[in-house]
Structure formats: C-alpha cells, structure tokens
Structure 1
Amino acid sequence: MDGQPVTIQAAVALHQAGAWDRAAQAYEQILTADPQNVDALHLTGVIAHQRGEYEDAIRWIQRALQLRPRNATFHNNLGNAFQAVGRYDAAEQHFQTALEISPQSVDARFNLGALRQEQGQWNAALAEFAAVVRQQPGMAKAYHRLGMIFKRQGQLAEAERCLSEALVHDPDFDEAALLLAKTHCAAGRTDEALEQFERLCAKSPQQIDAHFELAATLLDCGRYDEAIVQLSNVIQRAPEHARAHHHLGVAHLRRLHLTEAEVCFREAVRLRPDFAMAHNSLGSLLRERGELSAAADCFSESFRLLPQAAEPRANLAGILQLQGRPTEAIAAYRSALQIDDSSARIHSNLLMTLHYDPELSAEEIFEEHQRWSRRHVVPTAAAPRLKNNPLQSRPLRIGYLSADFRAHSVASFIEPLLKAHDRRAVHVSCYSDVTAPDDVTVRLKTHADTWRDVQGKTDQEVLKMIIDDEIDILVDLAGHTGGNRLQVLAQRAAPVQITHLGYGGTTGIPAIDYRLTDVVADPPGESRRHVEELAYLRSGIFCYAPPLNAPPVAPAPCLENGYVTFGSFNNLAKINSSVVKLWAAILHDMPTSRLFMKSHSFLDAATREDFLRMFSQHGINPARLDLLGQVATLREHLELYGRIDIALDSFPYTGATTTCESLWMGVPVVTLRGHQYVGRLSASLLTQIGCPELIAETPQAYQEIACTLTENLPRLGNVRTQLREQMAQSPVCDAANAAREMETLYRDMWQRWCRGNRKAG
C-alpha cells in the first residue's frame, strides 16, 4: 500500500491468499476513502466471520445490505453469521431471501440445509441437500451431509452410497472417508471399516481422528492387543485426548490388566472431570477389584453427569446385587430400563437378578422373561437357509456356544462332557466368546474338534459362522448371563437349539427348543413356566470335573476345636436378608458355633460392615463371624474348606459349583429346596450323590438338619471322610455315562427334527 490508493481487487487478492490482517487493513483504507464501498463493507464482515467475530460480521454485512438489499451473496453470508450466534430464525430468513433473489444459488440452499440439520429438522435438511446435488452433482460436501443424516437415521445403505459419491468427487475428502468407515462399522462390515480406517491413516498420518477410530473399531472387534498399540500411539501424539485414555483403559480392563486400566481411567477423568462414561468405566474397574462402595460412587457420579444414561444405573444395580440387596437391585435395573427399554443386555441382567429375590414367585419371573422376548426378539420364520442333511443316522455336528470357556463354573461342568464325547457319534465345535482367555481356555480347546473364537464378532457374523459350519444341534451355555448370544439363537442358527447349564430358567425365546434339566430341579409340571420343552437327564444336570490339584480332605475342624464352624463360599448376591435371618437362628441354637464366609464382595470394607450389622440386628455378636474376601489360587480356596464343618446353602438361589466343591472337600451341605430351578440345584446334586437327608423342605427343617448334624461330632467327622469317595462313585462324576446319555438325547431330538417335528416329546 505504501501510501498508494488500495484497490478492491488488491484487497480481495490478499483476502483470498489468507492474509486476513493485511486484507482487513486494505478494506479499512478503502472505506476511509469511500465509506459507501459496498464490497469492502461486505468483505470486512466476511473476515470478521472467519475470525469468529460474529456480531461484528452481522453489523458490517447489514451495512452492505442497506446499500444493496437484493444481493443474494450478502443475504447468504449474513445468514451464516446469524446461524453462528444461534439466531436461527434470522438466519433462515436471509437464506430464504437469497434463494428468492437467486433460486439457483447452491451455496444458499446448502447453508439452509445445514441450518435445518443443526436444528434437528432431518427430513427438511435431506430435501435441501438432495436439491443441491441435483443442481450441482459434483458437490462432495452436500453428499457428505446427506451421508451424515442418513447414518443418523439408520439408513446405512443410503449413507454409504452418498459418502462413496462424495469421495468420487473429492478423493481427498478425509472427513467423508472417516464417516464412511464409521458407517461400515454401524452396518456390521467391520473388515471394510478397518480397511477404510487404515487407508485414511496411511494417507494422513497426522489425522488423529482416523487413528482413534481405527483403535476404537479394533476395540469393538475384540482385538484388544492391537487396540492397545493404536491407542498408545494416539496418546503419544495427542496426550490430552481424554477419549483415547478412556478407550485404552477399556482395552486393558478387557485383558484384566487392572493396574494399567486404572491409570488410564483416572487420567481420562483428570483431563475431563465431566466425562461421565470415564467415571462409569472406573466404577467397572473398581467393581472388578471388589471395591464395591467406591465403584458405586463412580456410577452415581456418572449418572449425575449424564442423567439420561442407562448404563451407570444398570451398573449400580449390579453393585446392589453383589451386596445381597436384590430388591434394591431390581428397582435400579427397572430405573435403567425406563431410560433405555431397548437394551436387551440390561433387561437380561434384570432377569438374572429376579432369581435372587425371595419375595418373587416363579410365575412373576416367567412373565418378565416373556416380556423380554416380546421386547427384544424379532419373530422369524423357519429358516430356509439351513442346509443340514436330514439323515437320521449320520454323526451329528454339535456346537457349544459360551463366553465362559475359561476359569468359570460353567467350564467345570462342560469340560468332562467335551472330553468324554464319542467322536464316532458327534463332531464337537466350540464357539468361544471369551474376553480374556486363560489356562482353562487352552485346555478346553484341546477337547474340541473345531474351535471358533467369536469374541468381537457381530451376532450376524456368528450366526453365519454357525450356519456355514452346518451345526445340527446348538447348545447355549449362557442364557441371560453376561456375554450371551441369545440373539443368534433367536434367529435360528441350527435346526435344534438347546439351553443348558449357564442360566437358571427359561430364556423366553421361542426359537430355543429345549432346556436340559432333571426331575429334581424341574419336577413334572414345571414346563408351564418355560417356552422351551424340558428335556430330562436321568443322571442329573451336572457332570462335575473335580479340580486336578484339589488338596486332600482335611479332618473335621470341630474334632480339634470342640465347636462347630458353619460356612458358605457362595456369591454374596445369593445371601439376602432372609438367609441371614435363618443363619442367625442356627447360630442362636448353638451359642458356641461360628460362621466362616468367603466372598469376593467382602474385599469391600463397607459391604463387610453392613453384613456384620445385619447379623448384629439378629443378636449375633460380629466376633462369631469370620469374613474373607479372596485368595490367590483355586487350591488355596479349596484348602479353606478345612476350616468348615457344615456348609449352609443359600436360597432362593442355591449353590452349584460351591456345592460340588464343598462335597468334594468332605463338607456336607444343608440346602432348602426352592420353588424353581435355581432353588433346587443343590437338591439335585445331593440326590445324585445319595444324601437326600441334607435337603430341607422348609426353613424350620433346614434349621433342624443343621442342628442335628452337630449333635454327634465324631459322626460328623466320619461323614467328612466318606463324602469324596461317595461323590466320585456317583453319577455326578461319571462323565462317560453323562456323555452317552447326552448323545442319546441329542440323537432323539435330531431324529424328531428329521421327521418334521421341532421338539422331542
């Protein structure tokens, strides 16, 4: 400028070159010389808008419009400025005026669509963007906007089409490429999504969003180790990326790297104190470590920050369940479902918790299972896609589906069957959804003819895998427990579908044909509370594999102590106020006796104190109770039975694995026969090993059996020396017989299907 008059053309050149400060000075000089220069007024407003000085932009452009009121570009840019400050009515008015003046103004129509989109007027926005691409078919950003809206509305195929079109017209449109990859994820095409993310990351190494989304997709796919590497890279480049710290914590938590996960979650909360889901995830970690009260505080903070999030409320319900407070847990789950009644998983958690409440009838529980099915299962006709050969006598392809092929109670009961199956009669495939495989997983894998890792795969991918494997009989081992794949079975993955072991009742899903049980756990007439047909095993529900490293049976401690020690190693979720009341009455009957309990929940000091307080309210001195939180190994756990004379079973949800462990370690178990399957698990086991005298029909009888066992301590010691052998010789430990019976049952079910009958009679 050097003292020379500045032309508008020179000022515009500076503006277009990005030299905003020099351009602004040039416009100012022009306006000093000519205050009515309409272009300088307008463009000064444009620079103000670009700088984020929206109110200044409005004033400058309004001055330009006073001089040239029929300029469509001015109206369009003024609309942008009004939209930036949230004055949507004024913005709409100016966009509409621009279109009245210049109906072919693509910019004004695009901006009107963007305004509609920002206001949540999705269909109106779609109409505007569709009009834009009709006028200007090569406008990539309009296709991108269409893709955004279609994805939000769940029209994924349309979203993919529009985003692909955007990239045709602008191959360097990274934002469209990123959204296309996310849409592939939403459509369940994770392989395509990962390829798209990887291409974008390779093309734009500094594109942090792409690297983060790639890591997040790997996390969703269950590829935790890869996700950890990618997320660590994101954090190295962007240390303040709170979501990356959070997701890294989730990946570590899934791998049970608890120390690393805690560091990540706490850093995410430090970076963003209002990060509700980071508080929620920290709570999940603390729950895993047994710090229940601290976990509850995290969940409470999470839903304080995000009142409309169902997940933290459901997680708080889980804490209440682990503390033996089923009624409160049920109320909390129902509160979560009021926020999100579409969550099949939260509803399944509610179903599981119902079994712990002593006040609920079997009919009420069955009705809730039917509600789950009506809400979450999409009806499907018989699946013509199944291509199984209906030859009745050929070897059968059996599939076992579970998230618990690991150190878990289900593994204790399924391993002997897998090992004992007759490979001339059946081919065994295991579909493992295990998050953190362990030594048990490795061992189980050796017992399967085919092993499929389905962790991180979608239900549709698992469904296709099972159908392609031509599984004849699919056995679900989860029911409504964590990690279940009930939606796969709901779509008919195999001709015959069974539920077994993992869950204590009906699934509520019509496509599941049978539930395996026995006459003790489900006496005749129980079928009225199941949508599946009950198929009875003469040898009982459970086939138990005693731990290989179990220590020898220890002498009864009462012989040395001179007093009886009662005990329970059941999950505290099963120990409700009714159980405490009855156990307190037994302790009153025998003033010198003690109660020894072990539960993961007792790692939490507040939970432990609350439990002691419950006994105090029934007049029991807390000094008579020994509460232990956890031990390091299974052998140490089993050695603790050497401190117990008599095991007291929980109700209405009895033990299964704990009952087997107790009996194997020589400790008799007193149980109360319940009014549904979960209340008769121990009764089934005790019947099979020949100890029906330990089964009580009423709380009073339960109390009497416990007291009678203490009347003759030498006899109690003698029982202890005989129980392991008695159990070893019983059907409970006869894997070969259990496998043959199971295979016969499978064959009967298969033959009936081949003859056109869905279920065996």
Structure 2
Amino acid sequence: MSVSEEVYRKIQHYLQLAQYKEAERTCLFELGKLAEKDGYLLFLLGTTARMLHKKQAASVAFNAALSTDQDNIDYLQASASAREALGDHEAAYRLMARVIELAPHDVNARANLAVALDRLNRGEEALDVYAAALQLDARQRTANLNYGTLLHRMGRKREALVHNRLAHARLPEVFGTLYNLVDTLIANFEYQEALDYCEKGLIQRPHHAHLMMKKAIVLSGLSRRQESLVAQSSARIMQPGVIRDYLPETRHLPASISIYLDGEILEYEARYTEQASCYWRYRSDYLQKLHHAIQDKPYRNRALSGIENAFRLHSLDIPAVDRLKLMRNTASVVSDFAWRYALGPFQYRRTDHAVIRIGYLSPDFREHATAILSRQIYGMHDRSRFKIYGYSLHNAKQTDRYRTGIENTVDVFRDVSAMHAADIAKLIHADEVDILVDLAGYSAFCRAEVMAMRPAPVQMQ
C-alpha cells in the first residue's frame, strides 16, 4: 500500500496553515498503515517535528527518510539542518559536503556548507565557500548576511565593511543587511553614516531594541550623550534585558541588580575601543575629559565607577595622582557592590588542618597569559605543607591543555563560573581556605566583589 498524492497535499496544507499538530497526527497515522518506509512522508513528519521544536524527533524522521534514498538532496539538507540544531556540527558538515558532491552548482547548498564549516571553527574555509556561493548568485541571502559577519568576527573589519555595503546594496529589502552594515560602520568608527542607517532602519522597524541600542552607541561615539541616553532608555523599554546582551559579563548577576549605562559611559567605552584599535582622532579630547571627570568627585560619576576603568588606565597617558584617585574610587565601588548581597562578615574559626589551604581565584585557567605563566606554580607547592584549590571564574567554550594541566596539578578544582558572587564566597569559606590569591585584579571576567566579601582570613592580589 502506498501513500496517495491527496494525503501528501493534505499534510502540506496543514503545514501551510501552521496546523502542525494536525500534520503530525496525519503523518503518524499514515505511517502506521504502511508496511514499508515512505521517504517523503517521513520527510514531512520531520518538517512537522521541526516546526514543533522537537529537535530529536525531527532528526530521527529525516534520517529515516534519508535511509530510503541516500542521494536525495532535500533529505540530505533537512537531515543536516536537524543535526546542526542538535549541535552535531561534524555530522551536519558531512551531509552538506555530500550535497555539494551531488549538486556542485546548488548555491543554497554551498551557503549551508559554509555555515557548517563556520560552526566547526574552520573560518577561512567557510569564507572561501561563501565567496564561491556569491560568485554563483550575488544575491544569495545566507552568504550575503554571513560573509561580512564572519570577516568582522575574524577581525577583518575593513573587509567586512566593504562586503556589508555591497550586501545592503544587493538586498536592501533584507533588514539583516542594514543591521550588519550598522555594526561594521560602528566597528570602523564611521559614526555619522552608522547613525544615518540607524534612522533608516528604525523607520522600517521602530521597535527594534537592538538597533535602537546601536543608535545609542553611535550617538555616544559622536559625543551626543543626552541623545544617547534617550535612545538607550527607549531600547530598554522595548526589551528590558537588551543591556545584558551588550554586556555578557553581567549575565551572571541576579535579575534584581539593575545594570546602568548612560551616554557618558558609552562615550568612554567608544573612546577606549578606538584607542585599542589605534584610532586616534578623539584621543586628546578623551584624555582631557577623563582628567576633568576624575578631578570632579569621581565617586559621583557613574562613568568612572566601572571596574574596567582600573585596568584600562594602564594604557592611558594620565597623571599618577589621577590614576591613584580613580583606583581608590574603583575599590570603594566594588565594596559597595559586594555589600548589596547582604552577606554578613565571615567568621574565621581556628582549624586543625594538617596543611595550609591556598586558593587561587581566576577567570584565566585557559589559553591565556595568566595560565601560561602560572601553570607550573600550582604543582610546585610542598604538599606536606600546603593544599591547593583552584576556583575558575570563566568557563571557556572548549577546554584546552592549559586548563587541563592546571586541573591536574591542583588538589581541588572548582568551576564557579555560573555561580553568584555571594555563593562563590560562601564556597571558599566552606572550603576553609586560609590564603586566597586573586589572579585577575580588575581584568575581564574578574569577580572583584568576591574578594571584597573577604571569605578567607588572608587575601592577596
């Protein structure tokens, strides 16, 4: 018994009407009547499962469809997409590579192959495949959107800008090309042009929170602080969590803690980013504003309250007295922030440990200068006198040999990257650490508030 064309059309009609449950029931009912697999019916079932966000079920259905015809391009691409959704990027790549073997001029297949390569961190190969897709069809949507994004991510900002200009000219109706163009204009410090495109995009989508936030960033780059604050406030009204999308290091903070940014903070952020990229146009004005702000009661200035300032000052030409004043202000801000956790002072009881417990607190137990330079230290302690704890504040996407090496040389290794500061402090205190060493200072992913809570009787930075 075979499935009639009428049944196929019925299921397709359900899918067109977004009646996915009905489509799923019909697929399962018809499959139950068959003695043999029907590839297209399984393909429709997989499509239905994907629309119902049943990732595993979609993958099973597409694989079953593929087993009926291993050279069917639709089945191959659907199965690749399902494997991608499950995080199996290697399998997705192999399936898409097979599609290219069967249909070397299929431009959409080439773009999807590039996506799979990108997921496998094979960026240069992905760029080549995207370029090949664009040669076949200059208006291919995925390639136009992703090629510039990948260039930008790889640090090739000027090339990304050139491409994104072309992509928007080719596909002005695709909003993503405008958004990507704004992003690379900002990265290349072309603030006025970026503002023009923000205004254009917000006419099309007036409630697009992330584009409104881009506008706030652009206005800050133009030193239009008050307008920047207005744009940022509008973005937060549209989407309250939008700030945390731009400050991923704040995602670990409790929802009760509000993240504040204003036009001045964003302007300082823009100016520092320019210095890091050797873009000097606004340097003298930046240093002058920074000097005046430090002189004028920095504790009242939210733009000077972020701990990132303490680290950044090392690369800026400012007087030592200004540096000391700002560092003291930063320490005070950190202490106040720690106080918000309402955690009472820790009591240190006398212990009968046979050895002294030393804890190392760092976000850089990974391929990072700190780990590379310090990795031998942990194993060199005399174990007859010391027990070594490692507390990792940042969990990189992939473990590496430095992380693994440190894990193997400390006595106790704890990944605390997903924990709140108060819970980290409680854990360190519960471990009865005698000496706590902060290896981060005021650097990226640091948790200075943990040290401010003083979970150990002796602390070093």
Q: TM-score, normalising length from structure 2?
A: 0.58
Match of residue 311 from structure 1 = 245
In 2, Cα distance between equivalents of 1:229 and 1:257: 13
Distance in structure 1 (CA, Å) of the matches to 2:118 and 2:176 = 18
Return closer, same or farther for 1:492/1:298 CA change in 2, 3 Å cut-off: farther
Offset at residue 124 of structure 1 (A): 0.7
What SS does structure 1 have at the residue aligned with 2:261? helix
Which secondary structure does the structure 2 equivalent of 1:120 belong to?
Answer: coil
5 Å-filtered alignment, 1:343-742, equals 356-357=333-334, 359-360=336-337, 491=400, 528-532=435-439
* Cα-to-partner distance string for 1:582-610 (whole Å, 9 max, x where unaligned): xxxxxxxxxxxxxxxxxxxxxxxxxxxxx
Match of 1:87 among 19, 22, 26: 19
Of 132, 138, 141, the match for 1:205: 138
Task: Please state how far the C-alpha of 1:362 moved relative to its aligned partner.
Answer: 9.1
2:32 corresponds to 1:125: no
> For the residues of structure 2 that align with 1:486 and 1:226, how far apart are their CA atoms?
31
Q: 2:193 aligns with which of 244, 260, 264?
A: 260
SS at structure 2 position matched to 1:359: helix
Task: In structure 1, give the amino acid aligned to 2:18.
Answer: G
Q: Please state whether the residue corresponding to 1:162 is helix, strand or coil.
A: helix
Structure 2 counterpart SS, 1:530: strand
1:177: which partner in 2? 110
CA–CA distance in structure 1, aligned partners of residues 102 and 264 of structure 2: 55
Task: State the Cα distance separating 1:72 from its structure 2 match.
Answer: 2.8
Structure with higher Rg: it is 1
Q: Structure 2: which amino acid aligns with 1:105?
A: D
CA RMSD of aligned residues (A): 4.7
Q: Is the 8 A contact 2:216 2:263 kept in 1?
A: no
1:130 positional shift: 0.7
Q: For the residues of structure 1 that align with 2:440 and 2:145, how far apart are their CA atoms? A: 48
Aligned partners of 2:221, 2:96: CA distance in 1, in Å?
Answer: 42
Instruction: Look up the match of 2:30.
Output: 98
Change (3 A) 1:141 1:488: closer
Question: Is 1:166 aligned with 2:99?
Answer: yes
Task: Calculate percent identity across the aligned residue pairs.
Answer: 15
Query: Is this contact kept in 2: 1:181–1:196, CA < 8 A?
Result: yes
Whether the aligned pair in 2 keeps the contact of 1:73 and 1:98 (CA below 8 Å) is no
- 1:128 CA drift (Å): 0.6
From 277, 284, 301, give the equivalent of 1:324. Answer: 301
Contact 1:160/1:183 (8 A) holds in 2: yes
Give unmatched runs, 5+ long, in structure 2. Answer: 251-257, 266-299, 308-328, 345-360, 376-393, 407-414, 418-433, 442-447, 453-461
Which residue pairs with 1:76 in the alignment?
Answer: 8
Q: Distance in 1 between matches of 2:86 and 2:212?
A: 29
Residue 278 (structure 1) aligned with residue 211 (structure 2): yes
- Please state how far the C-alpha of 1:89 moved relative to its aligned partner: 2.6
2-side partners of 1:365 and 1:496: how far apart? 37
- Any idea what the Cα deviations from partners look like across 1:598-646, whole Å, max 9, x if unmatched? xxxxxxxxxxxxxxxxxxxxxxxxxxxxxxxxxxxxxxxxxxxxxxxxx
| 1:152 and 2:80 are equivalent in the alignment | no
Q: Which runs of 5+ in 1 are unaligned?
A: 1-68, 331-351, 368-372, 384-398, 402-462, 464-470, 475-484, 498-507, 511-526, 535-651, 653-674, 677-761
Query: Cα distance 1:76–1:106, how it changes in 2: closer, same or farther (>3 A)?
Result: same
Q: Quote the Cα distance in structure 2 between the aligned partners of 1:168 and 1:489.
A: 31
1:317 alignment partner, SS class: coil
Matched position secondary structure for 2:109: helix
| Aligned-pair CA distance for 1:126 | 0.8
Given that 1:150 and 1:159 are in contact with CA atoms closer than 8 Å, whether structure 2 keeps it comes out as yes
Distance 1:259 1:166, change over 3 A: same
Aligned mates of 2:103, 2:119 — CA distance in 1: 23
Q: Distance in 2 between matches of 1:221 and 1:95?
A: 44
Deviation by residue 1:518-540 (Cα, 9 ceiling, x = unmatched): xxxxxxxxx94534399xxxxxx
1:196 shift after superposition = 0.9
- Aligned residues of 2:43 and 2:65 also touching (Cα < 8 A): yes
Q: Does 1:190 align with 2:123?
A: yes
CA distance in 2: counterparts of 1:304 and 1:265, whole angstroms: 18
Q: In 2, are the aligned partners of 1:76 and 1:94 still within 8 Å (CA)?
A: no
Q: TM-score, normalised by structure 1?
A: 0.36
Q: CA deviation at 1:321?
A: 8.9
SS at match of 1:273: coil
**Distance apart, 1:101 and its partner CA:** 4.5
Which structure is higher in RCO with an 8 Å CA cutoff and minimum separation 6?
1
CA contact (8 A) 1:317 1:329 kept: no
Q: Is the 8 A contact 1:473 1:494 kept in 2?
A: no
Deviation at 1:194, TM superposition (A): 0.4
Q: Which residue of the partner structure matches residue 167 of structure 2?
A: 234
How many residues are matched? 321
Q: Is the 8 A contact 1:473 1:496 kept in 2?
A: no
Contact 2:55-2:82 within 8 A present in 1 as well: yes
SS at match of 1:179: helix
